[in-house]
Structure 1
Amino acid sequence: MNKFSHFDQEGRSRMVDVTDKQKTKRVAIAQGKVKVSSKTLDLIKDQEIEKGDVLEVARVAGIMGVKRTPDLIPMCHPLLISGVDLKFNIIEEEATIEILATTKIAGKTGVEMEALTAVSVAGLTIYDMCKAVDKGIEIGGIKLLKKTGGKSGVYLAQDLVGEAIAFCSSPEKGIAKEEIAEATFKEDYGLAGDAHAGDWHRQVSLLAIEDINLMREQGLDLELGAFGENIVTQGLKLPELPIGRKLKLGEEIILEVTQIGKECHDRCKIYHQVGDCIMPKRGIFAKVIQGGTVKSGVKLEVLIND
């Protein structure tokens, strides 16, 4: 039983003794998702729910949840919380509200449970505010995304860190791109030498190797860049990233997600060459916030506190 800190050597429940621990700055970020109907989402955005401003009430409830965490979770220490921040990201395509809660403390134990409680209570409050018009609301995806401080150091959820396994470019739009050895990204422009770079919101396109491989399993002989993607990623669930989320590529390049998928009005050259195009369904687009030069194999990290 001693593998679990909330049990002593005899298997009895206990609150962990932190008397001799040193105080450090500790931060925890948790996520939750609330799926509603499209009609309900419109009512929330337009503040037409009869009970009031849904997201602001949920924000206050989440903060109150942080303060009451030790009253709800038996072995949690009462903590002197120094900071709480709740953000709501509306994902239109999925009629989903993403809740992000950040909790901070300078203390002897972590604030993960407080962050998780914040998103849970905020999600429940959204349900309570909207249940009169939508009893089918789903609350889920509650998890710890990041923690810093303490003896264990930094923790990042596995799906926040991936890799850019290839970079691709083409001088013309609507055709497959070719893999390049080195990629230079220019601020507010895009990938140098690529036809899609410029002063607009779709400067860079990203597509996951996992999705490309699904197409390969259908018998298609595909080179990287076949779907017009600039960056081929591995390990990230790209379509689940909300618009506005930032990505760190390598040590200095920062991208900001601007669009999830796209609408194809006409079949492009890629469709006729390959037989299908997954970029409209599985690809994402971004603009370059901070530039730099990288080679394939660099880390691609989802930034959740920027």
Structure 2
Amino acid sequence: MSHLPLIGTVEAVSSDDAHRFSKVTRDQIRLLAGLGVEGDAHAGIRVQHRSRVKQDPTQPNLRQVHLIHSELLAELADQGFAIDPAALGENVLTRGLNLLDLPRGTRLHLGETAVVEVTGLRNPCAQIENFQTGLLSAVLDQDAEGHLIRKAGIMSIVLHSGEVNPGDLIHVELPPQPHEKLERV
């Protein structure tokens, strides 16, 4: 994984205090250690995603902060989809990092003090198809061996609090070897 870029940038930040598919772009968000994005409906120690709450509301929240790479939005635009920042429900839109190839446990240092730890891949649900027809299949792919590739971003937990702004640098801290491939969370 040494071929991965180790510095990227924050393109946009977003949050929403209600459980809606899309979020609202902000000038700044504040990450709270152990909780997530201040004022966001998905913040909390325990799982907040409605489908997961139905399964087991005592699960730890491994999906506190959702990150998507802006390169995905460009790829989708090439396929005819018009996707604005925050439209896919991400909290942080990045540029210059291959998020999907990061190993589990990677720490992303966002701005001055915020640090998140990557927990896994976002598993796109039917809501994405309701948002724009054909989008679900556009964010799923298969590798040469036929394994499913989820391209709808990664999930993380907040280790250190701090403000995150568009234009902030993102520094990647890889975990010790051996690296664990990201799975859906």
TM-score, with structure 1 as normaliser: 0.46
Q: Where do residues 172-183 of structure 1 align in structure 2 (5 Å cutoff)?
A: 172-183=18-29
Equivalent residue, structure 2, for 1:217: 78
| C-alpha distance after superposition, 1:67-110 (max 9, x if no partner) | xxxxxxxxxxxxxxxxxxxxxxxxxxxxxxxxxxxxxxxxxxxx
User: Which 4+ stretches in 1 moved above 3 angstroms?
Assistant: 277-280
Q: Where do residues 33-48 of structure 1 align in structure 2 (5 Å cutoff)?
A: none
- In 2, Cα distance between equivalents of 1:263 and 1:166: 20
Please say if residues 116 and 160 of structure 2, whose CA atoms lie closer than 8 Å, have aligned partners that are also in contact.
Answer: yes
| C-alpha distance after superposition, 1:121-159 (max 9, x if no partner) | xxxxxxxxxxxxxxxxxxxxxx5xxxxxxxxxxxxx771
Q: Which amino acid aligns with 1:185?
A: L
1:190 aligns with 2:36: yes
SS in structure 2 of the partner of residue 202 of structure 1: coil
Equivalent residue, structure 2, for 1:238: 99
Equivalent residue, structure 2, for 1:292: 162
- In 1, Cα distance between equivalents of 2:93 and 2:164: 13
In terms of fraction of residues, the more helix-rich structure is: 1
Please say if residues 239 and 261 of structure 1, whose CA atoms lie closer than 8 Å, have aligned partners that are also in contact.
Answer: no
1:208 aligns with 2:69: yes
- In 2, Cα distance between equivalents of 1:294 and 1:262: 24
| C-alpha distance after superposition, 1:210-252 (max 9, x if no partner) | 0011111222222111111110000000010111111100121
Bigger Cα displacement from structure 2, 218-227 vs 176-185: 218-227
Q: Measured at CA, do residues 181 and 273 of structure 1 come closer, stay the same or move farther in structure 2, by a change above 3 Å?
A: same
| C-alpha distance after superposition, 1:266-292 (max 9, x if no partner) | x11x42122214398221000000001
**Gapped runs of 5+ residues in structure 1?**
1-30, 32-142, 144-156
**Gapped runs of 5+ residues in structure 2?**
46-60, 141-148, 177-185
Q: Which amino acid aligns with 1:176?
A: S
Tell which structure's C-alpha radius of gyration is larger.
Answer: 1
Q: Which amino acid aligns with 1:239?
A: L
Q: Measured at CA, do residues 169 and 159 of structure 1 come closer, stay the same or move farther in structure 2, by a change above 3 Å?
A: same
Please say if residues 9 and 95 of structure 2, whose CA atoms lie closer than 8 Å, have aligned partners that are also in contact.
Answer: yes
**In the TM superposition, what is the alpha-carbon distance from 1:293 to its structure 2 partner?**
1.2
1:226 aligns with 2:95: no
Please say if residues 30 and 164 of structure 2, whose CA atoms lie closer than 8 Å, have aligned partners that are also in contact.
Answer: yes
SS in structure 1 of the partner of residue 105 of structure 2: coil
Equivalent residue, structure 1, for 2:150: 281
Identity %: 31
**In the TM superposition, what is the alpha-carbon distance from 1:261 to its structure 2 partner?**
2.8
Q: Measured at CA, do residues 259 and 174 of structure 1 come closer, stay the same or move farther in structure 2, by a change above 3 Å?
A: farther
Larger RCO (CA under 8 A, 6+ residues apart): 2
Please say if residues 161 and 299 of structure 1, whose CA atoms lie closer than 8 Å, have aligned partners that are also in contact.
Answer: yes
Q: Which amino acid aligns with 2:115?
A: I
- In 2, Cα distance between equivalents of 1:248 and 1:169: 19
- In 2, Cα distance between equivalents of 1:259 and 1:304: 14
**In the TM superposition, what is the alpha-carbon distance from 1:301 to its structure 2 partner?**
1.1
Q: Which amino acid aligns with 1:281?
A: R
Q: Where do residues 1-306 of structure 1 align in structure 2 (5 Å cutoff)?
A: 143=2, 159-199=5-45, 200-262=61-123, 264=125, 267-268=126-127, 270-275=128-133, 276-277=135-136, 278=139, 281-282=150-151, 283-304=153-174
Please say if residues 30 and 163 of structure 2, whose CA atoms lie closer than 8 Å, have aligned partners that are also in contact.
Answer: yes
